[in-house]
Amino acid sequence: MAKRKLSNRQKTRIDERQQQHVERLEPEAARDATKNLGPRSSGLVTCNFGQQLEVEAIGGTLQGKIFRCFQRSNLPAMVSGDRIIFQSDGESSGVIVALDDRRNVFSRPASSGELRPVASNIDLVLIVIAPIPQPFMNLVDRYLVAVESLQLTPLLIINKADLMASSRTPELDAMGVLYAGLGYKVIEVSATTGAGITDLKKALNNKTAVIVGQSGVGKSSLINALSPQIDAPVGALSRGSAKGTHTTTSARLFHLDGCDLIDSPGIREFGLWHISPHQLLEGFTEFRPFVGQCKFRDCSHRNEPQCALRSAVESGAISSVRLESYFHILESLANL
Protein backbone atom coordinates (compact mmCIF):
# COMPACT_ATOMS: atom_id res chain seq x y z
CA MET A 1 0.00 0.00 0.00
CA ALA A 2 2.75 2.38 1.12
CA LYS A 3 4.73 1.37 -1.93
CA ARG A 4 1.83 2.19 -4.21
CA LYS A 5 1.30 5.57 -2.54
CA LEU A 6 4.96 6.40 -3.04
CA SER A 7 4.88 5.51 -6.68
CA ASN A 8 1.76 7.66 -7.15
CA ARG A 9 3.58 10.58 -5.58
CA GLN A 10 6.58 9.94 -7.79
CA LYS A 11 4.30 9.86 -10.79
CA THR A 12 2.83 13.22 -9.78
CA ARG A 13 6.34 14.64 -9.46
CA ILE A 14 7.29 13.37 -12.89
CA ASP A 15 4.10 14.87 -14.32
CA GLU A 16 4.93 18.19 -12.64
CA ARG A 17 8.46 18.10 -13.99
CA GLN A 18 7.21 17.37 -17.46
CA GLN A 19 4.73 20.22 -17.13
CA GLN A 20 7.54 22.60 -16.05
CA HIS A 21 9.58 21.41 -18.98
CA VAL A 22 6.73 22.20 -21.37
CA GLU A 23 6.32 25.64 -19.75
CA ARG A 24 10.03 26.30 -20.17
CA LEU A 25 9.81 25.31 -23.78
CA GLU A 26 6.87 27.54 -24.59
CA PRO A 27 8.73 30.89 -24.66
CA GLU A 28 11.23 29.29 -27.05
CA ALA A 29 8.36 28.08 -29.16
CA ALA A 30 6.90 31.60 -29.14
CA ARG A 31 10.28 32.98 -30.19
CA ASP A 32 10.56 30.46 -32.99
CA ALA A 33 7.01 31.20 -34.03
CA THR A 34 7.87 34.86 -34.68
CA LYS A 35 10.40 33.72 -37.31
CA ASN A 36 7.48 32.83 -39.55
CA LEU A 37 5.57 35.98 -38.77
CA GLY A 38 5.47 39.29 -40.56
CA PRO A 39 7.48 42.44 -39.81
CA ARG A 40 7.12 44.36 -36.58
CA SER A 41 4.03 46.58 -36.25
CA SER A 42 2.84 49.00 -33.61
CA GLY A 43 -0.26 48.11 -31.68
CA LEU A 44 -2.56 49.03 -28.82
CA VAL A 45 -3.66 46.46 -26.23
CA THR A 46 -7.44 46.71 -26.00
CA CYS A 47 -8.12 43.73 -23.74
CA ASN A 48 -6.23 41.17 -21.65
CA PHE A 49 -8.01 37.82 -21.45
CA GLY A 50 -5.37 36.23 -19.24
CA GLN A 51 -3.44 33.93 -21.57
CA GLN A 52 -4.10 36.02 -24.65
CA LEU A 53 -4.42 39.70 -25.43
CA GLU A 54 -6.45 41.58 -27.98
CA VAL A 55 -4.31 43.99 -29.97
CA GLU A 56 -5.36 46.66 -32.44
CA ALA A 57 -2.77 47.52 -35.09
CA ILE A 58 -1.77 51.18 -35.27
CA GLY A 59 -0.49 52.65 -38.55
CA GLY A 60 0.82 50.84 -41.62
CA THR A 61 -1.18 48.50 -43.79
CA LEU A 62 -2.68 46.68 -40.81
CA GLN A 63 -4.15 49.88 -39.28
CA GLY A 64 -7.26 49.12 -37.21
CA LYS A 65 -7.06 45.33 -37.64
CA ILE A 66 -7.61 43.24 -34.50
CA PHE A 67 -5.25 40.40 -33.51
CA ARG A 68 -5.28 37.79 -30.75
CA CYS A 69 -1.74 37.75 -29.42
CA PHE A 70 0.45 35.89 -27.00
CA GLN A 71 3.22 37.84 -25.37
CA ARG A 72 6.84 36.90 -24.95
CA SER A 73 7.38 35.61 -21.44
CA ASN A 74 10.11 38.14 -20.62
CA LEU A 75 7.58 41.00 -20.84
CA PRO A 76 5.53 42.26 -17.86
CA ALA A 77 1.77 41.61 -17.64
CA MET A 78 0.02 43.96 -20.04
CA VAL A 79 -3.14 46.00 -19.63
CA SER A 80 -5.63 47.87 -21.81
CA GLY A 81 -4.01 51.04 -23.09
CA ASP A 82 -0.50 49.60 -23.47
CA ARG A 83 1.36 50.55 -26.64
CA ILE A 84 3.25 47.56 -27.94
CA ILE A 85 5.24 46.13 -30.85
CA PHE A 86 3.97 42.86 -32.29
CA GLN A 87 4.48 40.52 -35.17
CA SER A 88 1.38 39.10 -36.80
CA ASP A 89 0.57 36.28 -39.18
CA GLY A 90 -1.25 38.89 -41.27
CA GLU A 91 -4.53 37.16 -40.45
CA SER A 92 -5.76 37.26 -36.89
CA SER A 93 -3.00 36.23 -34.49
CA GLY A 94 0.44 37.36 -33.45
CA VAL A 95 3.09 37.66 -30.77
CA ILE A 96 3.83 40.78 -28.71
CA VAL A 97 7.59 41.30 -28.72
CA ALA A 98 8.02 44.65 -26.93
CA LEU A 99 6.23 47.05 -24.62
CA ASP A 100 6.57 50.82 -25.15
CA ASP A 101 7.22 53.07 -22.15
CA ARG A 102 4.07 53.72 -20.15
CA ARG A 103 3.01 57.17 -19.01
CA ASN A 104 1.23 55.59 -16.04
CA VAL A 105 -0.56 52.43 -14.91
CA PHE A 106 -3.79 52.68 -12.97
CA SER A 107 -4.40 49.88 -10.48
CA ARG A 108 -7.63 49.25 -8.67
CA PRO A 109 -7.98 47.92 -5.16
CA ALA A 110 -9.05 44.28 -5.54
CA SER A 111 -11.16 42.51 -2.92
CA SER A 112 -8.14 40.41 -1.98
CA GLY A 113 -6.34 43.62 -1.04
CA GLU A 114 -3.61 43.93 -3.60
CA LEU A 115 -3.63 46.58 -6.27
CA ARG A 116 -4.43 45.04 -9.62
CA PRO A 117 -3.28 46.91 -12.75
CA VAL A 118 -6.18 47.62 -15.14
CA ALA A 119 -5.25 50.38 -17.55
CA SER A 120 -2.28 52.39 -18.73
CA ASN A 121 -1.50 55.67 -20.48
CA ILE A 122 -4.61 57.37 -19.15
CA ASP A 123 -5.50 61.03 -18.52
CA LEU A 124 -8.63 60.72 -16.45
CA VAL A 125 -10.26 58.31 -13.98
CA LEU A 126 -14.05 58.22 -13.88
CA ILE A 127 -15.21 57.07 -10.44
CA VAL A 128 -18.85 56.02 -10.69
CA ILE A 129 -21.33 55.83 -7.81
CA ALA A 130 -25.12 55.49 -7.88
CA PRO A 131 -28.04 55.47 -5.43
CA ILE A 132 -28.22 51.68 -6.03
CA PRO A 133 -26.07 49.72 -5.20
CA GLN A 134 -25.46 51.64 -1.99
CA PRO A 135 -22.34 53.79 -2.37
CA PHE A 136 -19.42 53.64 0.05
CA MET A 137 -17.47 56.80 0.67
CA ASN A 138 -14.54 54.75 1.86
CA LEU A 139 -14.29 53.06 -1.54
CA VAL A 140 -14.37 56.43 -3.35
CA ASP A 141 -11.60 57.58 -1.02
CA ARG A 142 -9.53 54.51 -1.93
CA TYR A 143 -9.96 55.27 -5.61
CA LEU A 144 -9.01 58.90 -4.98
CA VAL A 145 -5.83 57.84 -3.18
CA ALA A 146 -4.92 55.64 -6.17
CA VAL A 147 -5.68 58.52 -8.58
CA GLU A 148 -3.72 61.08 -6.55
CA SER A 149 -0.70 58.80 -6.27
CA LEU A 150 -0.45 58.87 -10.08
CA GLN A 151 -1.15 62.60 -10.25
CA LEU A 152 -4.13 61.91 -12.46
CA THR A 153 -7.44 63.77 -12.58
CA PRO A 154 -10.50 62.08 -11.12
CA LEU A 155 -14.07 62.77 -12.18
CA LEU A 156 -16.82 61.64 -9.84
CA ILE A 157 -19.93 60.48 -11.68
CA ILE A 158 -23.22 60.03 -9.88
CA ASN A 159 -25.13 57.72 -12.25
CA LYS A 160 -28.79 56.62 -12.22
CA ALA A 161 -30.00 60.20 -11.76
CA ASP A 162 -33.41 58.91 -12.93
CA LEU A 163 -33.68 56.93 -9.67
CA MET A 164 -32.97 59.95 -7.46
CA ALA A 165 -36.68 60.72 -6.88
CA SER A 166 -37.19 57.34 -5.24
CA SER A 167 -33.71 56.41 -4.00
CA ARG A 168 -31.94 59.65 -3.11
CA THR A 169 -30.30 59.38 0.31
CA PRO A 170 -28.77 62.09 2.51
CA GLU A 171 -25.50 60.08 2.43
CA LEU A 172 -25.32 60.24 -1.37
CA ASP A 173 -26.11 63.96 -1.40
CA ALA A 174 -23.50 64.55 1.28
CA MET A 175 -20.91 62.70 -0.81
CA GLY A 176 -21.62 64.88 -3.84
CA VAL A 177 -21.30 68.06 -1.76
CA LEU A 178 -18.17 66.85 0.06
CA TYR A 179 -16.19 65.88 -3.05
CA ALA A 180 -17.24 68.99 -4.97
CA GLY A 181 -16.10 71.00 -1.92
CA LEU A 182 -12.68 69.33 -2.13
CA GLY A 183 -12.37 70.63 -5.68
CA TYR A 184 -13.19 67.40 -7.49
CA LYS A 185 -15.49 67.64 -10.49
CA VAL A 186 -18.82 65.90 -9.88
CA ILE A 187 -21.35 65.17 -12.64
CA GLU A 188 -24.84 63.70 -12.19
CA VAL A 189 -25.90 61.55 -15.16
CA SER A 190 -28.30 58.82 -16.21
CA ALA A 191 -27.23 56.13 -18.64
CA THR A 192 -30.92 55.22 -18.97
CA THR A 193 -32.41 58.63 -19.82
CA GLY A 194 -29.27 60.22 -21.27
CA ALA A 195 -29.36 63.10 -18.77
CA GLY A 196 -25.92 64.66 -18.29
CA ILE A 197 -24.32 62.53 -21.01
CA THR A 198 -23.46 65.61 -23.09
CA ASP A 199 -21.57 67.09 -20.11
CA LEU A 200 -19.74 63.81 -19.66
CA LYS A 201 -18.78 63.76 -23.35
CA LYS A 202 -17.34 67.26 -23.00
CA ALA A 203 -15.26 66.24 -19.98
CA LEU A 204 -13.90 63.27 -21.94
CA ASN A 205 -13.00 65.14 -25.10
CA ASN A 206 -9.63 64.07 -26.52
CA LYS A 207 -8.79 62.04 -23.44
CA THR A 208 -8.13 58.43 -22.54
CA ALA A 209 -10.10 57.54 -19.42
CA VAL A 210 -10.69 54.48 -17.28
CA ILE A 211 -14.08 53.95 -15.68
CA VAL A 212 -14.12 52.37 -12.20
CA GLY A 213 -16.58 51.72 -9.38
CA GLN A 214 -18.63 49.07 -7.63
CA SER A 215 -20.22 46.32 -9.68
CA GLY A 216 -23.67 47.39 -10.86
CA VAL A 217 -23.28 51.19 -10.76
CA GLY A 218 -23.65 51.32 -14.55
CA LYS A 219 -20.11 51.68 -15.93
CA SER A 220 -20.77 49.60 -19.04
CA SER A 221 -24.22 51.19 -19.42
CA LEU A 222 -22.52 54.61 -19.51
CA ILE A 223 -20.20 53.46 -22.29
CA ASN A 224 -23.24 52.31 -24.28
CA ALA A 225 -24.97 55.63 -23.58
CA LEU A 226 -21.91 57.58 -24.77
CA SER A 227 -21.70 55.56 -27.97
CA PRO A 228 -24.83 53.62 -29.00
CA GLN A 229 -22.97 51.50 -31.58
CA ILE A 230 -21.01 49.89 -28.72
CA ASP A 231 -22.85 47.05 -27.10
CA ALA A 232 -20.94 46.40 -23.87
CA PRO A 233 -22.62 43.69 -21.79
CA VAL A 234 -24.85 45.05 -19.01
CA GLY A 235 -26.19 42.94 -16.12
CA ALA A 236 -29.13 43.44 -13.77
CA LEU A 237 -28.49 43.79 -10.03
CA SER A 238 -29.08 40.73 -7.90
CA ARG A 239 -32.70 40.69 -6.72
CA GLY A 240 -32.13 40.02 -3.05
CA SER A 241 -29.17 42.24 -2.22
CA ALA A 242 -29.41 44.89 -5.00
CA LYS A 243 -25.70 44.42 -5.62
CA GLY A 244 -23.91 44.16 -8.94
CA THR A 245 -23.34 40.76 -10.49
CA HIS A 246 -19.83 41.23 -11.95
CA THR A 247 -20.94 41.40 -15.55
CA THR A 248 -17.72 42.90 -16.92
CA THR A 249 -14.91 40.43 -16.30
CA SER A 250 -11.91 42.02 -18.05
CA ALA A 251 -10.96 45.62 -18.73
CA ARG A 252 -11.54 46.67 -22.34
CA LEU A 253 -10.66 49.81 -24.28
CA PHE A 254 -13.36 51.30 -26.49
CA HIS A 255 -12.90 54.03 -29.08
CA LEU A 256 -15.73 56.49 -28.59
CA ASP A 257 -16.48 59.65 -30.48
CA GLY A 258 -13.58 61.95 -29.44
CA CYS A 259 -12.11 59.82 -26.66
CA ASP A 260 -10.94 56.36 -25.59
CA LEU A 261 -12.67 54.82 -22.61
CA ILE A 262 -11.51 51.71 -20.73
CA ASP A 263 -14.33 49.78 -19.06
CA SER A 264 -13.24 47.80 -16.00
CA PRO A 265 -14.70 45.03 -13.84
CA GLY A 266 -16.54 46.40 -10.81
CA ILE A 267 -15.73 45.46 -7.27
CA ARG A 268 -18.21 44.29 -4.67
CA GLU A 269 -16.17 44.20 -1.52
CA PHE A 270 -12.84 45.54 -0.48
CA GLY A 271 -10.57 44.62 2.35
CA LEU A 272 -6.90 45.05 2.97
CA TRP A 273 -4.91 47.29 0.79
CA HIS A 274 -1.26 47.20 -0.15
CA ILE A 275 -0.13 50.82 -0.21
CA SER A 276 2.21 52.70 2.08
CA PRO A 277 0.84 54.84 4.95
CA HIS A 278 2.62 57.83 3.38
CA GLN A 279 0.90 57.31 0.03
CA LEU A 280 -2.40 57.04 1.86
CA LEU A 281 -1.94 60.33 3.70
CA GLU A 282 -0.85 62.09 0.50
CA GLY A 283 -3.98 60.76 -1.22
CA PHE A 284 -6.17 62.86 1.08
CA THR A 285 -5.14 66.06 -0.65
CA GLU A 286 -6.84 68.48 1.76
CA PHE A 287 -4.70 67.03 4.60
CA ARG A 288 -1.47 68.05 2.91
CA PRO A 289 -1.14 71.59 4.33
CA PHE A 290 -1.43 70.14 7.86
CA VAL A 291 0.87 67.14 7.50
CA GLY A 292 4.08 67.68 9.52
CA GLN A 293 2.46 70.50 11.55
CA CYS A 294 1.49 68.40 14.59
CA LYS A 295 3.34 68.89 17.90
CA PHE A 296 4.65 65.32 17.82
CA ARG A 297 6.48 64.10 14.75
CA ASP A 298 4.97 60.64 15.09
CA CYS A 299 1.47 61.98 15.85
CA SER A 300 -1.21 59.38 15.13
CA HIS A 301 -3.79 62.20 14.83
CA ARG A 302 -6.08 60.35 17.21
CA ASN A 303 -5.64 61.86 20.67
CA GLU A 304 -2.28 63.62 20.96
CA PRO A 305 -2.34 67.30 22.04
CA GLN A 306 -1.84 70.01 19.41
CA CYS A 307 -2.62 67.76 16.48
CA ALA A 308 -2.80 69.88 13.31
CA LEU A 309 -5.15 67.48 11.54
CA ARG A 310 -7.66 67.38 14.40
CA SER A 311 -7.46 71.17 14.79
CA ALA A 312 -8.23 71.40 11.07
CA VAL A 313 -11.31 69.24 11.65
CA GLU A 314 -12.39 71.56 14.49
CA SER A 315 -11.93 74.66 12.33
CA GLY A 316 -13.84 73.01 9.45
CA ALA A 317 -10.84 72.86 7.07
CA ILE A 318 -11.04 69.05 7.05
CA SER A 319 -14.28 67.09 7.22
CA SER A 320 -14.49 64.66 10.13
CA VAL A 321 -15.86 61.92 7.84
CA ARG A 322 -12.75 62.13 5.68
CA LEU A 323 -10.48 61.83 8.72
CA GLU A 324 -12.55 58.80 9.83
CA SER A 325 -12.29 57.35 6.34
CA TYR A 326 -8.51 57.84 6.46
CA PHE A 327 -8.31 55.96 9.80
CA HIS A 328 -10.50 53.21 8.42
CA ILE A 329 -8.16 52.63 5.47
CA LEU A 330 -5.08 53.02 7.66
CA GLU A 331 -6.36 50.24 9.95
CA SER A 332 -6.79 47.97 6.96
CA LEU A 333 -3.11 48.59 6.12
CA ALA A 334 -1.96 48.08 9.69
CA ASN A 335 -3.52 44.62 9.79
CA LEU A 336 -1.42 43.33 6.92
Ligand X SMILES: Nc1nc2c(ncn2[C@@H]2O[C@H](COP(=O)(O)OP(=O)(O)OP(=O)(O)O)[C@@H](O)[C@H]2O)c(=O)[nH]1
Binding site for ligand X (CB under 6 A): 159-160, 162-163, 190-192, 215-221, 234-237, 244-248, 265-266
Contact predicate 212/143, CB 8 Å: yes
Nearer to Zn ion, 186 or 299 (CB): 299
Cα distance between residue 51 and residue 332, in whole Å: 32
Least distance from C-beta 159 to ligand X, angstroms? 5
Number of residues that bind Mg ion (CB under 5 A): 4
Residue 51, phi then psi, degrees to nearest 5: -75, -40
286 binds, among ligand X, Mg ion, Zn ion, none (CB under 5 to 8 A by kind): none
Which of 304, 300, 306 has the alpha carbon at shortest distance from 323? Answer: 300
Least distance from C-beta 329 to Zn ion, angstroms? 16
The site string for Zn ion over 203-232 (x = CB under 5 A, - otherwise) reads ------------------------------
Radius of gyration of the chain (CA): 24
End-to-end alpha carbon distance in the chain? 44
Least distance from C-beta 259 to ligand X, angstroms? 18
The site string for Zn ion over 266-305 (x = CB under 5 A, - otherwise) reads ----------------------------x----x-x----
Least distance from C-beta 260 to ligand X, angstroms? 17
Least distance from C-beta 130 to Mg ion, angstroms? 12
Cα distance between residue 35 and residue 223, in whole Å: 39
According to DSSP, the β-strands at 208-213 and 124-129 are parallel
Which residues from 215-234 bind Mg ion, rule CB under 5 A?
219-220
246 binds, among Zn ion, ligand X, Mg ion, none (CB under 5 to 8 A by kind): ligand X
CA dihedral 143, 145, 146, 151 (to 10 degrees): 120
Which of 330, 329, 325, 332 has the alpha carbon at shortest distance from 174? Answer: 325
What amino acid occupies position 272? L
Which residue's C-beta sits nearest to ligand X?
266
The site string for Mg ion over 166-205 (x = CB under 5 A, - otherwise) reads ----------------------------------------
307 binds, among ligand X, Zn ion, Mg ion, none (CB under 5 to 8 A by kind): Zn ion
Nearer to ligand X, 117 or 216 (CB): 216
323 touching Zn ion, by CB under 5 A? no
Q: Angle at Cα 138 formed by Cα 46 and Cα 333, nearest 5°? A: 90
248 touching Mg ion, by CB under 5 A? yes
Nearer to ligand X, 172 or 217 (CB): 217
Cα distance between residue 216 and residue 245, in whole Å: 7
Adjacent-strand bridge partners of 93: 68
Cα distance between residue 94 and residue 117, in whole Å: 23
Q: Which residues bind Mg ion (CB under 5 A)?
A: 219-220, 247-248
